[in-house]
Structure 1
Amino acid sequence: MLNLRNGWQNRPLNWCMKVSQRAGIALILAVLAPSLKAQEMVTLNQVIQLSLEKDYGIHLAQNALSAAETDDQYSFGALLPRIEAVASKTWNNNNQRQVLPDNTERRRDGIKSENISASAQLQWLLFDGTRMFAARERIAEIAEQGELLLRDQIVNTVASVINNYYFIVALKQQLKATQEQMAVSEERVKLAELKLEVGTGGKPELLQAKIDLNSQRRQVVEQRTAIRQVKDQLNGLVGMQLPADFDVADTIVIDLSLDREEIISEISRRNFELQALKKNIDISNLTIRERKGELYPFLYFNSNYNFSRTENEVAINNFTPLFNQNRGFNYGFSLTFPILNGFDARRRVRLAHIDAQRQQIIYDQRQTEVLIEANNAFDNYHNAREVMRISEETVALARENVHIALEGFKRGVTTFIELRTAQISLESAYTELITARYNAKVAETELLRLCGRLVQAVPEG
């Protein structure tokens, strides 16, 4: 009984034998159909490469990383001065009326003038309680976190691909085992028919042999359907880039040399998820520095260059210039002291401390969960290795037992019940062996994923 990964993982391998009995004519046609057309072989590495190129989760993580790296590239701007320039030109057409102290009145309409002005301003923040430096470090940490999240997404995608790929291999092995059983059942039917003809056997024996054969034929149909469905799932992980009809390897490659202590020791320093969570702690501590900077005075360097010119066509009195021009340069420093802002700055500092504590708790909690997951995975891995060793011996014994029972059935020294019992034992042994192989591979994949060694551990071919 295969306990497969989430979704498929929690279903036994013979789940495919429990699909509704919509067999009918389709079942008979499928069993009697000619052998399958040649399928294009697809290796695990090929599927992994396609998943790295096409997986949507990886693309989203890459997009987030690009945004964080862009922020980091331009973060030096926080240390630079701010420079602005303004220019304007104005045309005036005014009607003026003036009354002087001696009650003399002067009036003129349609007075035209031009005003030109320009200015350049520089403001440079020299000190802000080190907020600018903390902000730049925080942005750099976010960029590094984005890279870790991308790596985590990659190993998760690769793990999903490996589990899907070898699930197909396990289903193929189960199909092959069922077909092997079918060959024995077909021989049983022939022998039961022959015994019935010569009067040494009964019809119930023949009917049971045919029932068992039809049950195995149904299993073959359902197993092939399950294989097609899992292939579609695998194809979906790579953006439907695999051939419409493809084949996978025949064997499950398992690394039987993993060591518990080595895996556990590598998790804290190589697990990408934990490293990304640790970055949240660093980011929160830098945010505290930024918030504390709000309590310090701000020191600015200011500089301005101004230019203005006014031209009047006519003057309404002798004190009005026809041409006026000013230009000049000034500079200086300004200091801003935060005195009282409703204690908002202190509130921000306190909230930043609370968030840092929260991030530490999240990290500690997840680290504990990951260590538990690793220990459970290694227990599954160790158990599957032991079951594999036992099941391999059991399969060899069961196959020999079926062979002996079949030969004895031919000679009439073995009953059909004994032969059928031997077949059931072989079927159970095959299922246990295939289950153990797949579970060992799933556990191995999970261990390598948790310790960050999954991608480099993918076998060639």
Structure 2
Amino acid sequence: SLYTNRLAAGVGLNWILFDGFRVKFTKSQLETLEDLSSGLLAVQVMSTIEDIIQVYYGVLLQQEQLEVLETVMQLSEDRYQYEMKKKSLGGSVTYNVLQAKNVYLTDKTNFMNQEMLVRNTTRNLNFMMGIEPSQTWEFSEAFEADTSEFILADLLSKMTADNQTLKNQYTSLLLKENETALQRSAYYPSISVGAGMDYGNTRSYSGGAQTFNSETVLPYGNVRLSFDIYSAGVRKRGVEIARINEDVAKVEIDQMEHALTNELFNLFDYHTVRLELLNVANENLEAAELNLSISEDKYRSGVINSFNYRDIQLIYLNVSFQRLQAIHNLISSKASLTQITGGFLSYTSE
């Protein structure tokens, strides 16, 4: 009988020396994607910071309003006690006592409702910070607004340079530019080198005896140049689509810059007006406090009646609330200006 055994094996190595800069553009693409992811995360961080600031100063606002209501309630209680003493001495009637009592109980109700609002806003703050709802705080910071003025030109410059949303849009444009370059790389040839070794072994047997034995070891090396001559327009369409996406990204940047500039002008105008409104509110409160102090003496001396005194109390209450709201509005507008100019991110980086 005659039979033959053959064994063949080989190992090869291929190394691409040049592939039309695809490695370079792909690496740049991945790095840009990483930057974009960081930028998107930064936007979320800034938004969360602004939300926490708004809720925090909302708590301070509610606490300040609670103190005002407590002051008014104390005045109503003093008036009620005063009418009770007058009645016991025969200087007042039941009607006046009941009227003072109703006013006092109304103010006490408002005070208790405000206490509930303080607790609710505090729980909202805990929720924003991921803290247990039962956590309580003692807020020692004074509820005051920074009355420093801004320069519009400086804000515009800072917004253009540091606004994170706008920076993300520029990063997105860079991605589109890298994609265009990546599509163009398909027009370049590729160069590669190869090396390897083939091994072969052949043995023949006849009648149980080996009649032939051959063993070969063949090393090899080569250089390969390949170029895609025709791709049915695939490369051309790929480049055209990438260019269109790049142009769209540029238009989106222009639109975003226009929208942000318009928003900045509005925020700057709000902040300027709110500065003036706070000054007006401060003057109004000074007058209301003086009027309240004078009216208390006039009420006890009988110059004004209980209705006049109550009207003056309500004026003081409304004016105090208006001033507190003016402070909160100014703080809010500054926070919005800080966010649109990228200020929160600078604070966290420091």
| Candidates 229, 233, 236, aligned match of 1:343 | 233
Alignment-derived partner of residue 177 in structure 1:
68
Pairing of 1:389-404 with structure 2 (within 5 A): 389-404=279-294
| Candidates 216, 220, 223, aligned match of 1:330 | 220
CA distance, structure 1, for counterparts of residue 319 and residue 347 of structure 2? 30
Quote how far apart the aligned CAs of 1:139 are: 2.0
Decide whether aligned partners of structure 1 residues 164 and 320 sit closer, same or farther in structure 2, where only a CA change above 3 A counts.
farther
Partner-residue secondary structure (3-state), 1:246: coil
CA deviations 1:216-267 (Å, max 9, x no partner) are 2222222222222222222222222687122223423433223222111110
Partner-residue secondary structure (3-state), 2:235: helix
Quote how far apart the aligned CAs of 1:204 are: 4.5
Matched, 1:261 2:131: no
Conserved 8 A contact 1:235-1:242: yes
Q: How many residues get paired?
A: 347
Quote how far apart the aligned CAs of 1:305 are: 2.7
Unaligned runs of 5+ in 2: none
Decide whether aligned partners of structure 1 residues 292 and 395 sit closer, same or farther in structure 2, where only a CA change above 3 A counts.
same
Decide which moves more: 140-149 or 172-181. 140-149
Alignment-derived partner of residue 352 in structure 1:
242
Conserved 8 A contact 2:58-2:328: yes
CA deviations 1:393-443 (Å, max 9, x no partner) are 211211121121112111221111111111111111111111111111111
Pairing of 1:297-316 with structure 2 (within 5 A): 297-309=189-201, 315-316=205-206
Alignment-derived partner of residue 122 in structure 1:
14
Under a length normalisation based on structure 1, what TM-score does the superposition of the two structures give? 0.69
CA distance, structure 2, for counterparts of residue 203 and residue 326 of structure 1? 126
Decide whether aligned partners of structure 1 residues 457 and 332 sit closer, same or farther in structure 2, where only a CA change above 3 A counts.
closer
Partner-residue secondary structure (3-state), 2:187: coil
Amino acid at match of 2:77: E
Decide which moves more: 257-266 or 143-152. 143-152
Conserved 8 A contact 1:169-1:249: no
CA distance, structure 1, for counterparts of residue 325 and residue 120 of structure 2? 19
CA distance, structure 2, for counterparts of residue 320 and residue 450 of structure 1? 88
Under a length normalisation based on structure 2, what TM-score does the superposition of the two structures give? 0.89
Pairing of 1:36-435 with structure 2 (within 5 A): 106=1, 115=7, 117-124=9-16, 126-197=17-88, 200-240=91-131, 244-257=135-148, 258-309=150-201, 315-316=205-206, 323-435=213-325
CA deviations 1:363-395 (Å, max 9, x no partner) are 222222222222222222212211111111211
Percentage identity across paired residues of the two chains? 18
CA distance, structure 2, for counterparts of residue 184 and residue 152 of structure 1? 48
CA distance, structure 1, for counterparts of residue 239 and residue 308 of structure 2? 79
Decide which moves more: 200-209 or 159-168. 200-209
Alignment-derived partner of residue 340 in structure 2:
450
CA deviations 1:77-116 (Å, max 9, x no partner) are xxxxxxxxxxxxxxxxxxxxxxxxxxxxx467xx8x6847
CA distance, structure 1, for counterparts of residue 211 and residue 175 of structure 2? 62
Conserved 8 A contact 2:196-2:221: yes
Decide whether aligned partners of structure 1 residues 353 and 205 sit closer, same or farther in structure 2, where only a CA change above 3 A counts.
farther
CA distance, structure 1, for counterparts of residue 227 and residue 208 of structure 2? 48
CA distance, structure 1, for counterparts of residue 226 and residue 167 of structure 2? 40
CA distance, structure 1, for counterparts of residue 2 and residue 220 of structure 2? 39
CA distance, structure 2, for counterparts of residue 165 and residue 446 of structure 1? 15
Conserved 8 A contact 1:165-1:234: yes
CA deviations 1:2-37 (Å, max 9, x no partner) are xxxxxxxxxxxxxxxxxxxxxxxxxxxxxxxxxxxx
CA deviations 1:174-201 (Å, max 9, x no partner) are 1111101101111122233344455554
Amino acid at match of 1:120: G
Unaligned runs of 5+ in 1: 1-105
Partner-residue secondary structure (3-state), 1:315: strand
CA deviations 1:51-99 (Å, max 9, x no partner) are xxxxxxxxxxxxxxxxxxxxxxxxxxxxxxxxxxxxxxxxxxxxxxxxx
Partner-residue secondary structure (3-state), 1:358: helix
CA distance, structure 2, for counterparts of residue 230 and residue 387 of structure 1? 25
Greater RCO (CA < 8 Å, at least 6 residues apart): 2
Decide which moves more: 417-426 or 152-161. 152-161
CA distance, structure 2, for counterparts of residue 211 and residue 322 of structure 1? 123
Conserved 8 A contact 2:42-2:345: no
Conserved 8 A contact 1:304-1:330: yes
CA distance, structure 2, for counterparts of residue 387 and residue 378 of structure 1? 14
Alignment-derived partner of residue 87 in structure 1:
none
CA distance, structure 1, for counterparts of residue 347 and residue 92 of structure 2? 57
